[in-house]
Amino acid sequence: MTQSNTPFAPQISVPATYMRGGTSKGTFFKLSDLPERCQQPGEDRDNFLMRVIGSPDPYGKQIDGLGNGSSSTSKTVILSKPDQAKSEKDSHDVNYLFGQVNIAKPMIDWGGNCGNLTAAVGACAINMGLVNADKVAASAKSGICEVRIWQQNISKTIIAHVPVYTDEQGQVQVQETGDFELDGVTFPAAEVKIEFIDPVDASSAMFPTGHLVDDFDVSGCGLDKDCVQATFINAGIPTIFMKAEDLGFNGTELQSDINGNQELLDKLETIRAKGGVAMGLFQDVSDAQKSQHIPKIAWVAPAQSYTASSGKVVDKDDIDLVVRAMSMGQLHHAMMGTAAVAIAAAATTQGTLVNQSAGNGSATQLSEVRFGHPSGTLLVGGKTELVDGRWQAKKVSMSRSARRIMVGQVFVPGDCF
């Protein structure tokens, strides 16, 4: 066998940080560290990031990249100094751009945010030197650095309260270790409090159909009924909430109950596509193939006891309701951060299906809820107001954790982009 003389492009290396944020993991880049032609949006950037993650992969494992074969780990983040002219009048510390990399298809969805990785953005920005050094130094006294994040995908402000400490050399460092436990994450870490400010555009409707509950046409979707109730909400991320019973579920499903059943997954995807049309996101159900990141589909039910995926028993007396949500065609192992924002906004709006489930069938005035998900529970808070006949979410809050897993160089073939 003779050796080929065909030249192959050598690998190039790019500085990167691999981080866990909430119940997700992603590869973080500083914009200025990317290859020059990848510093602008477009095909070159997408091809580079897909190669980093290991997509598209028909085997679904992303073995040849940093992805782990799940929607929770097939993620990229680009951080930069914000353009204040584009990030409203208030100053921000960092610009955050999120890309959800499709595992099997050659595409990246730039249409929404990742609430889980949001928890890592503040810490990563400090470590990358993107947050003003004087501000970081001044935060040592309180032990919290308030990082104002401009979320570029959705043009929204997010505030991350990042714990910091002063090391033996007198330098302020991010506190990553701690005793805060987050269901869906094995080990404890430092708590990062996140606030999503005005998560709905003032010019947009939080309830795009104009109703808190709609009669949703699901004919042809394989359900027992042609019409069921649904709450369509645009907060955090566009989400379709349905009653678990209308889908033939009880609300305590785990991944093993859903993700191995292709017929069931196809049914849920058809419902998601029809919901996207009802929300005005798509003109036709076929358009849903171009955007698997939005909208999300979720189902709710009143509080009930169940065993989480870890084996932990979740007692119905410790939660207000149960919620399950799909992410990129699979039941999520815990709860997406952006979907948790939608849950908080819907739960604190009296009369939605989420609110009714939290009130055991009755509309209830709430300021926070603890919901059960496949990995355990999560407490979220929200403040919604009825202004001039329209519901507005003023703020949604939750606690997550984050830590660096690796800092170094990621290698990709030089001809991949």
- 156-166 and 390-413 strand pairing: unpaired
What is the distance between the alpha carbons of residues 126 and 175, in angstroms, rounded to a whole number?
11
**Residue 114 is among the residues annotated as catalytic for this protein:** yes
Closest CA to 329 of 296, 374, 300: 296
Instruction: State which H helix or E strand residue 266 sits in.
Output: helix 262-278
What is the distance between the alpha carbons of residues 23 and 308, in angstroms, rounded to a whole number?
15
Token pair listed for 121: 């953005």
Return the SS3 of 277. helix
- 75-80 and 24-30 strand pairing: parallel
Burial 96-117, CB ≥16 within 10 A → b, else e: bbbbbbbbeeebbbbbbbbbbb
Reported as half-sphere exposure (CB side, CA atoms, 13 A), residue 230 has a value of: 27
**Residue 335 is among the residues annotated as catalytic for this protein:** no
Compute φ and ψ for 208, nearest 5 degrees. Answer: -60, -25
Amino acid found at 194: I
Say if CB 262 and CB 319 are below 8 A apart: no
Return the SS3 of 217. strand
Catalytic residue of the set 19, 128, 242, 336: 336
Token pair listed for 288: 């849903």
Catalytic residue of the set 114, 128, 242, 279: 114
What is the distance between the alpha carbons of residues 314 and 29, in angstroms, rounded to a whole number?
38
Angle formed at CA 235 by CA 230 and CA 240, multiple of 5 degrees: 25
Token pair listed for 247: 């889908």
Residues marked active site are found at 114, 336
